[in-house]
Structure formats: C-alpha cells, structure tokens
Amino acid sequence: MNTHRISYMNSVQRNFEPTGVLIMPFNFLTEAEGTSADEAIEELRRIDWANELLSVIEHNGGVSFDNTSFLFELRFARALHSEEIVPTYEAPGEAKSTLDFEFTHNDQKWRIELLRLNETMAARNAIQKVQVGLVNIWRRV
C-alpha cells in the first residue's frame, strides 16, 4: 500500500463517527492526486524558482492530505512551468504579507494569491439521516 492510499485512509478515519457511521470528508487526497503531486515534485526539483515551494512541502509532511494547500500551489507552479513562465514564489505583498506567485507574461504583470477552500463547520454539520428499511444512512447534503 503506498503512502497516498494511507493518506486517504487516514482522512477517512478522522471522519469516522463514534456511532460507527462513516461520513465521507468534504475533500481528501486521492491516490491519483498523490501520484500527480509526486510527478510534479520530480519535474520541478531541477527548477531553481520552485525550490522554496518544494522545501515547504517536504518540511510540512510531503504529499499528504494535511498538506493539500501547498499541493494546490504545486499544481499551479507546474502549470506555470509547463508554459515556460518563471515566477517569483512568495513575492512581497502589502506591508509584511506575501503573494504566492508573481510573474510577467505578455507584458502584463501578474500577482497571484491562491485560495483553497477547506471544509467549513457548516459543511461538516450539513448531514442528513436517510432510513432505508431498518438501516440508518448518514450522508452529506
């Protein structure tokens, strides 16, 4: 069993209710996403501007469910690289803040801050009980 499968299983276990009911997470890292992230890491490893991002990913646990925000940045970085765009990662922003990526393309300056939406408390609480015969099924609505 590879580490991506284990990451998926761990994310499911965290959502296993004490009542014995499995509630699937709003988002999780699939095995295919993990494999794609591994490939992106290998592809970007030799690219100087990507070193800081790769270091952050490695320092925070590598390819895992808990690191999905950085893996989102990794996918974007790979897309930039595929278009031969050379960005600055963690570019200076307002005051002491930073932006995920900054680059110029076709004489247009781009400053990109990526936002990955995580599951909210409202989404976690949006569960519906459906009874099928004598079986209670809990599902997200």
Predicted confidence (pLDDT) at residue 70 exceeds the cutoff of 80: yes
41, pLDDT greater than 90: yes
Minimal CA–CA distance to 113: which of 130, 125, 94, 99? 99
Number of domains in the chain: 1
Mean pLDDT of 33-54: 94
109-120: pLDDT as tens digits: 999 999 877 666
The pTM assigned to this predicted structure is: 0.66
Does the structure show a pLDDT above 50 at 9?
A: no
Domain that holds residue 110: 3-140
pLDDT over 80 (residue 137): no
Indicate whether 10 pLDDT > 60. Answer: no
What is the 3 state secondary structure string of 101-141?
EEEEECCEEEEECCCCCCCCHHHHHCEEEEEECCEEEEEEC
